[in-house]
Amino acid sequence: MADMFAFAEARGGELRKVAFEAVAAARRAADATGGGQVHALVMGAPGIAARADALGRFGADVVAAVEHVGLERYAPEAFVATAAERIKAGSYRAAFFSASAEGRDLAPRVAARLGVGLASDVVGFDVAGDAVLAEHPAYTGKVIVTLRLTGTPAIVSLRPGALPATEQPRTAKIESVAPAADPGAGRVVVTGLAQEAGAKLDLGEAPVIVSGGRGLRAAEHFKLVEDLADAFGNAAVGATRAVTDDGWRPATDQIGQTGRVVSPELYVAVGISGAIQHLAGMRTAKTIVAINKDKDAPIFKVADYGIVGDLFEVVPRLTEAVRKARSG
Amino acid sequence: MKIAVCIKRVPDMELRFAIAADRKSLDQSGLKYDISDFDGYALEVALQLVEKQGSGEVVLVCLGPDGVQETLRKGLAMGATRAIQLKTDVVPVDGLAIARALAAELGSGGYDLILFGRMATDTAGGTVGAMAAELLGLPCVTAISHLELGDGKGTARRDLEGAAETVQFPLPAVLTIDEGIARPRLATLKGIMAAKKKPLEVKPAALGEVRLTVESMALPPERSGPKFMGEGADAVAELVQRLRTEAKVL
């Protein structure tokens, strides 16, 4: 029986989907050891504590809520100090973070401050005796590495979306906690946060991603991809590096080794040939659909469903069929 | 301005990988090595900063076996001033052990900036830069896609999911570099000749305790190909049917 820690990420006054994933993973880890407590930490501007009870739904027993006007945005030094202090205060077998943009900054620093090991960007794990075994796609996703992490607490950061949050409802006790360092006194200060124009649903949060590649032939044809995403209702739009390099889409839409790494429930690749660099960013999606005119395109090797054909004919038809399927 | 750039030597990712007989390392036959992509961007950023200032030093640091000397020479050919190899026969997968060895070397170096790529393309952990910063007690900004320096301060941009942060920090600092910030230059013949005479120091790597190791490696399950391949717009109906009943995503 071992207690687990989870860092619950918030942005803009709301918990993020990755917060539930971290808590649910901690719950699963605690249960695997015969049932221990799950303690979560959430940090944000005043008001975030009122959101914290949602973490109980995914298995948190206790939520430490740190509210401070200086925590509206990620304040690295205050976050690191507070997370490290909370972890030290308990006796946790493992601590779970998200390998989101924020988590990839936070988790390594917390591990270094505590002098403990970190397995990052993990897509599966197992608490085995005195070790945590963690699965991590490496070498642009061409090799799955199982890592052995010893020592306590073992720090694990989870690839967003790879381990969907399952509900394990309980009533979480919310405790108000002060930050371990003054958020206003950090050396590194986030002075601005600009939302990307047109980003409706974030790539890391969306259960469905519709992505376009060079096969679309021109920036204006991305309308086809957007329409299909709209038809799904819960979809975000991604792109290949070729497309973002050409300026058809913003760089932040890029999915791949050098862009975002995503694991949605459904990934629809439109006019994407499937370069290694792109596959590295999406091959852990649960279900992959590819639409491409070249039947030998490498994308079909990782796809679960494929249509060989002219995307300008196939995609509008698919958009219509998806819309119909969802309304009926 | 004195800048350290920490680089890693990684296999060419375009190659096909095979797992060695021990089931926990790569079969080395046919592998070609080069500087990790993001580390190349970091080096270019450092070279441009020193050029802009008109004076300064770019020091390359690489942890690994003697094979990394080739990678360090390449960086010297691009224009770095000198290089340090932190020698270890095997590069551990434990980011904290690597960060510890680097911090031990960098701590007394008097650097204004310490740059890393945001992650190595092989192990794809992305932890060493932020860990080294923490061990050194230095301000740190990770995964930056834009950088401006002036008056002992810096401003950087970090891309988040669907948003971009503007971050200010004082020098000295540790930064990890994302793609898109600068295209690495090619070494000139003159640079390659000059690199042969540049200092390359070899020191032992002080890794300390290693807590993260490779238990096993495997190739991802071979996909036998799609469960359904249709042709043309007429295949849409069956695709949607299967997305609904088989994949249950509709």
Q: Given the DSSP bridges, would you call strands A131-138 and A143-150 parallel, antiparallel or unpaired?
A: antiparallel
Cβ distance of B226 and A276 shorter than 8 Å: no
Looking at per-residue pLDDT, the higher value among A250 and A157 belongs to A157
Predicted pLDDT at A205? 80
Mean pLDDT of chain A: 94
Q: What is Dmax (Cα atoms) for chain B?
A: 68
pLDDT digits (tens, 9 = 90+) for B83-92: 999 999 999 9
From chain A, pick out residues whose CB is under 8 angstroms from the CB of B235. Answer: 307, 309, 314
Strand partners, B201: B84
Q: Which of B212, B228, B240 to mutate to test the interface with A (most CBs of A within 10 A)?
A: B212
Q: Which of B160, B234, B238 to mutate to test the interface with A (most CBs of A within 10 A)?
A: B160
d(CA A95, CA A6): 6
If you write DSSP's letter for every residue of A102-132 in order, what string do you get?
A: HHHHHHHHHHHHHT--EEEEESEEEEETTEE
The answer on pLDDT for A200 being more than 70 is no
Cβ distance of A112 and B135 shorter than 8 Å: yes
B18 touches chain A (CB under 8 A): no
pLDDT digits (tens, 9 = 90+) for A56-101: 999 999 999 999 999 998 999 999 999 999 999 999 999 999 999 9
Closest chain B residue by Cα to residue A200:
B162
From chain A, pick out residues whose CB is under 8 angstroms from the CB of B245. Answer: none
Q: Which of B216, B231, B236, B250 to mutate to test the interface with A (most CBs of A within 10 A)?
A: B236
Predicted pLDDT at A129? 85
Determine what percent of chain A is predicted with pLDDT higher than 70. 98
A-proximal residues of B, 198-227, CB under 8 Å: 211-220, 223, 225-227
The answer on pLDDT for A36 being more than 80 is yes
Cβ distance of B236 and A307 shorter than 8 Å: yes
The answer on pLDDT for A198 being more than 60 is no
From chain A, pick out residues whose CB is under 8 angstroms from the CB of B243. Answer: 266, 287, 289, 305, 325
Predicted pLDDT at B183? 87
pLDDT digits (tens, 9 = 90+) for A250-274: 888 999 988 888 999 999 999 999 9
B-proximal residues of A, 149-188, CB under 8 Å: 149-151, 187-188
| Measured CA distances, B149 to A272, B41, B112, B193 (Å) | 39, 17, 11, 32
- If you average pLDDT over residues A200-207, what whole number do you get? 81
- If you average pLDDT over residues A173-190, what whole number do you get? 96
From chain B, pick out residues whose CB is under 8 angstroms from the CB of A77. Answer: 139
Using CB atoms, which residue from A74, A193, A258 is nearest to B37?
Answer: A258
Predicted pLDDT at A196? 62
Cβ distance of B211 and A150 shorter than 8 Å: yes
Predicted pLDDT at B14? 86
ipTM: 0.94
From chain A, pick out residues whose CB is under 8 angstroms from the CB of B17. Answer: 139, 142-143
Predicted pLDDT at B179? 81
Helices marked H in chain A — which ranges? 17-32, 76-89, 101-114, 222-232, 241-245, 276-282, 299-302, 311-327
Q: Give the type of residue at A312.
A: F
From chain B, pick out residues whose CB is under 8 angstroms from the CB of A204. Answer: 161
Q: Running along chain B, 250 residues long, what does each successive block of 10 average in pLDDT?
A: 98 92 95 96 97 96 98 98 98 98 97 97 96 98 95 92 89 93 92 97 97 96 82 95 92
Q: Are A263 and A159 in contact (CB under 8 A)?
A: yes
Write the Ramachandran bin of B232: left for phi over 0, alpha for psi from -120 to 50, otherwise beta: left
Looking at per-residue pLDDT, the higher value among B204 and A206 belongs to B204
B20 touches chain A (CB under 8 A): no
B235 touches chain A (CB under 8 A): yes
Predicted pLDDT at A257? 86
Predicted pLDDT at B192? 97
CA distance B6 to chain A (A): 17
If you write DSSP's letter for every residue of A33-83 in order, what string do you get?
A: TT---EEEEEEESTTGGGGGGGGGGGT-SEEEEEE-GGGSS--HHHHHHHH
Predicted pLDDT at A328? 73
From chain B, pick out residues whose CB is under 8 angstroms from the CB of A287. Answer: 243, 247, 249
d(CA B76, CA A67): 49
A327 touches chain B (CB under 8 A): no
Closest chain A residue by Cα to residue B135:
A112
Cβ distance of A148 and B214 shorter than 8 Å: yes
**Structure-token pair, residue A280:** 């590295």
The answer on pLDDT for A217 being more than 90 is yes
Predicted pLDDT at B223? 67
From chain A, pick out residues whose CB is under 8 angstroms from the CB of B129. Answer: 108
Cβ distance of B94 and A252 shorter than 8 Å: no
From chain A, pick out residues whose CB is under 8 angstroms from the CB of B113. Answer: none
List Cβ neighbours of A19 (8 Å cut-off, separation of 6 or more): A6, A7, A8, A9, A10, A40, A42, A55, A98
Cβ distance of A318 and B240 shorter than 8 Å: yes
Q: Which of A14, A72, A143, A240 to mutate to test the interface with B (most CBs of B within 10 A)?
A: A143
The answer on pLDDT for A197 being more than 80 is no
* Four-residue CA torsion sign, B177, B180, B181, B186: positive
Q: Are B61 and B109 in contact (CB under 8 A)?
A: no
